């Protein structure tokens, strides 16, 4: 038996011990690191080491200094951004996959990576009710998934007009009208700018009180346009009327891309069908597995009804490439080298099954409603219709809301982000982790009440 990897085996055991300690304590410690823990992070800021350090000591330092400096995103009382927890099987599968260290650009680099991508593609297309044969590309997150879907759509619309972007770029290309909702996610704007389709050429459709595109204000499209709809407003969780948007866009031979970072998972849940009606008629979709599905970071997926359009956007060639008649994962993404992120996605889907996915999403929704009801009962204002996992909360006035949030964020009891909604400051709650329980929410509600108390009595600084 070779002992080449003996030291790695020892290190993995130590890492597992550190992980165990972390998991046993993470739910009891402050959700956001205490000032001492953040101060201690300064220990990392040393000059570049000239000499080697024992790996054992490196790992020990990482755990001693690094672990207390983490935000407890995997715990039950983190409600910031839309981050999602990490299901245990996802983390475990990832450890194994990281040990494999597969580059999955080509099939010949990793038959297992390619096979699991193909299986996930098929399962997800079925689970989300997308058209049979839809292609999937596995990327770092929805930002890249949006970029990928929009690149495919833009190039395909231009190809139909006789223009080859790979050949001619955008110089002199016929302009493609772009349509987004006023509440489109920042990632959409970023993608459009990267794709050479700036804000000035984008038609912005006004939204309603929940942030949904107003179909009565949707432009009359005269030519094939690139339209971005949203399944899950990053503040309110609301869904654009994707079916109607698609109907109008297709009538003018356009392309609809759906940004469904956390909301597209609703398409797996029969009880949420009204939110996603007609979504299967779109042309491309972006979703994160690391949000609602609780797969570890980073795992996003682009889906494209026309496989050829997605492949065309990422075409590349070199004499050393080795294509096969199997799936070559780099055909479907902007990256070439990439880790085998379908491994933990597969493991989570296999573990949950369709029923488990449905239960996970329903649990997040039920907890969000419970959170909203409890806070309303305590005199907070809930400003959105809680249709998914997002809750927008306000106090008496903006000042009190901001000071309550500031106190909450340092309380260690729970963590929420802030935002503005229809001109008002809000506390933004995203219930996004499998680990959240009703007890976690009850405890968090008490923290909200205490934070508001502190805001009222002494300017929001807990003494």
Residue nearest ligand PLP, CB atom distance: 141
Q: Using CB under 6 A as the criterion, what x/- string covers residues 163-202 for binding ligand PLP?
A: ----------------------x-x---------------
Give the binding range for ligand PLP (CB under 6 A) out of 135-143, 305-313, 397-405, 443-451: 135-143
Contact 169, 193 (CB under 8 A): no
C-alpha span between 290 and 4 (Å, rounded): 34
Q: Which of 102, 104, 143, 236 binds ligand PLP (CB under 6 A)?
A: 143
Q: CA-to-CA distance for 348 and 391, rounded, in angstroms? A: 26
Report the nearest approach of ligand PLP to the CB of residue 128 (Å): 16
The piece of 22-30, 65-73, 258-266, 351-359 that touches ligand PLP (CB under 6 A) is 258-266
Q: With CB under 6 A, what is the number of residues at the site for ligand PLP? A: 13
- Does 296 engage in binding with ligand PLP (CB under 6 A)? no
Number of CB atoms found within 10 A of residue 44's CB: 11
Q: By CB under 6 A, which span of 28-36, 136-144, 358-366, 450-458 interacts with ligand PLP? A: 136-144
User: Could you tell me which stretch among 68-76, 147-155, 242-250, 257-265 binds ligand PLP (CB under 6 A)?
Assistant: 257-265
Q: Which of 262, 314, 332, 380 binds ligand PLP (CB under 6 A)?
A: 262
Q: How far is the CB of 92 from ligand PLP (least distance, A)?
A: 22
CB of 83 to ligand PLP, least distance (A): 9
The reply on whether position 261 binds ligand PLP by CB under 6 A is yes
Among the residue ranges 104-112, 141-149, 239-247, 406-414, the one whose residues contact ligand PLP (CB under 6 A): 141-149
Task: Output 59 or 313, the one with its CB closest to ligand PLP.
Answer: 313
Q: Is 282 near ligand PLP (CB under 6 A)?
A: no
Q: Which is nearer to ligand PLP, 263 or 329 (CB)?
A: 263
CB crowding 78-105: b at 16 or more within 10 Å, else e: bbbbbbbbbbbbbbebbeebeeeebebb
288 binds ligand PLP (CB under 6 A): yes
| Residues 6+ positions from 81 with CB-CB distance below 8 Å | 417, 430
Q: What is the 3-state secondary structure (H, E, C) of the chain?
A: CCCCCHHHHHHHHHHHHHHHHHHHHCCCCCCCCCHHHHHHHHHHCCCCCCCCCCHHHHHHHHHHHHHHHCCCCCCCCECCCCCCCCCHHHHHHHHHHHHHCCCCCCHHHCHHHHHHHHHHHHHHHHHCCCCCCCEEEEECCHHHHHHHHHHHHHHHHHHHCCCCHHHHCCCCCCCCCEEEECCCCHHHHHHHHHCCCCHHHEEEECECCCCCECHHHCCCCCCCCEEEEEECCCCCCCECCHHHHHHHHHHCCCEEEEECCCCHHHHHCHHHHHHHCCHHHCCEEEEECCCCCCCCCCCEEEEECCHHHHHHHCCCCCCCCCCCCCCCHHHHCCCCCCCCCHHHHHHHHHHHHHHHHHHHHHHHHHHHHHHHHHHHHCCCEECCCCCCCEEEEECCCHHHHHHHHHHHHHHCCCECEEEEECCEEEEEEECCCCCCCHHHHHHHHHHHHHHHHHHHHHCCCCC
First to last CA, the chain: 61
Shortest Å, Cβ 44 to ligand PLP: 25
Decide whether 238 or 405 has the Cβ nearer to ligand PLP: 238
Identify which range of 36-44, 246-254, 259-267, 367-375 contacts ligand PLP by CB under 6 A: 259-267
Asked if 259 interacts with ligand PLP (CB under 6 A), we say yes
- Tell me which of 31, 59, 72, 82 binds ligand PLP, using CB under 6 A: 82
The two structure tokens encoding residue 276 = 């996603």
Shortest approach of ligand PLP to residue 146 CB, angstroms? Answer: 6
Binding flag, residue 75, ligand PLP (CB under 6 A): no
Q: Could you tell me the smallest distance in angstroms from the CB atom of residue 239 to ligand PLP? A: 11
Minimum CB distance to ligand PLP, residue 461 (Å): 32
CB of 214 to ligand PLP, least distance (A): 18
Closest to ligand PLP by CB, 185 vs 339, is 185
Distance CA 234, CA 288 (A): 13
Segment lying near ligand PLP (by CB under 6 A), choices 61-69, 138-146, 235-243, 370-378: 138-146
- Is residue 142 a contact residue for ligand PLP (CB under 6 A)? yes
- Regarding 83 and contact with ligand PLP (CB under 6 A), the answer is no
Structure tokens at 174: 């016929």
Q: Determine, following the binding rule CB under 6 A, whether residue 68 of this chain makes contact with ligand PLP.
A: no
Could you say whether residue 300 binds ligand PLP (CB under 6 A)? yes
234 near ligand PLP, rule: CB under 6 A: yes
Nearer to ligand PLP, 231 or 414 (CB): 231
Residues that bind ligand PLP in the complex, under the rule CB under 6 A:
82, 141-143, 185, 187, 232, 234, 259, 261-262, 288, 300
């Amino acid at each position: 038996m070779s002992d080449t990897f003996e030291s790695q085996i020892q290190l993995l055991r130590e890492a597992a011990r550190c992980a165990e300690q972390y998991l046993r304590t993470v739910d009891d410690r402050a959700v956001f690191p205490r000032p001492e823990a953040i101060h201690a992070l300064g220990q990392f800021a040393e000059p570049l080491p000239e000499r080697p350090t024992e790996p054992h000591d490196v790992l020990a330092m990482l755990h001693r200094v690094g672990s207390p400096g983490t935000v407890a995103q995997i715990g039950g009382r983190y409600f910031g951004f839309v981050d999602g927890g990490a299901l245990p099987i996802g983390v475990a599968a990832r450890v194994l996959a990281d040990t494999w260290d597969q580059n999955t650009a080509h099939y010949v680099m990793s038959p297992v990576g390619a096979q699991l991508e193909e299986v996930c593609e098929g399962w997800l297309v079925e689970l989300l009710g997308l058209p049979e044969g839809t292609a999937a590309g596995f990327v770092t997150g929805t930002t890249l998934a949006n970029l990928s879907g929009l690149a495919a759509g833009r190039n395909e619309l231009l190809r139909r007009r006789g223009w080859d972007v790979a050949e001619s770029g955008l110089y002199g290309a016929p302009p493609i009208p772009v349509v987004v909702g006023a509440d489109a996610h920042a990632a959409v704007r970023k993608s459009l700018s990267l794709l050479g389709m700036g804000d000035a050429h984008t038609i912005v459709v006004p939204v309603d009180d929940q942030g949904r595109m107003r179909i009565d204000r949707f432009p009359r499209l005269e030519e094939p346009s690139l339209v971005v709809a949203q399944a899950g407003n990053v503040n309110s969780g609301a869904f654009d009327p994707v079916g109607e948007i698609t109907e109008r866009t297709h009538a003018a031979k356009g392309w609809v891309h759906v940004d469904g970072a956390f909301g597209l998972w609703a398409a797996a849940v029969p009880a949420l069908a009204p939110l996603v009606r007609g979504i299967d008629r779109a042309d491309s979709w972006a979703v994160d597995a690391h949000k609602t599905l609780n797969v570890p970071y980073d795992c996003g997926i682009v889906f494209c009804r026309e496989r050829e359009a997605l492949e065309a956007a990422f075409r590349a060639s070199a004499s050393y490439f080795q294509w096969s008649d199997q799936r070559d994962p780099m055909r479907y993404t902007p990256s070439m080298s990439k880790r085998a992120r379908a491994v933990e996605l597969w493991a989570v889907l296999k573990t949950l099954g369709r029923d488990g996915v449905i239960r996970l999403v329903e649990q997040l929704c039920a907890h969000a409603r419970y959170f909203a009801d409890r806070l309303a009962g305590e005199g907070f204002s809930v400003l959105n219709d809680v249709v998914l996992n997002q809750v927008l909360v306000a106090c008496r006035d903006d000042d009190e809301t901001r000071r309550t949030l500031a106190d909450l964020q340092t309380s260690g009891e729970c963590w929420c982000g802030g935002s503005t909604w229809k001109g008002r400051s809000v506390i933004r709650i995203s219930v996004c982790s499998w680990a959240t329980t009703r007890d976690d929410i009850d405890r968090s509600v008490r923290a909200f009440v205490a934070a508001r108390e502190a805001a009222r009595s002494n300017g929001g600084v807990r003494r």
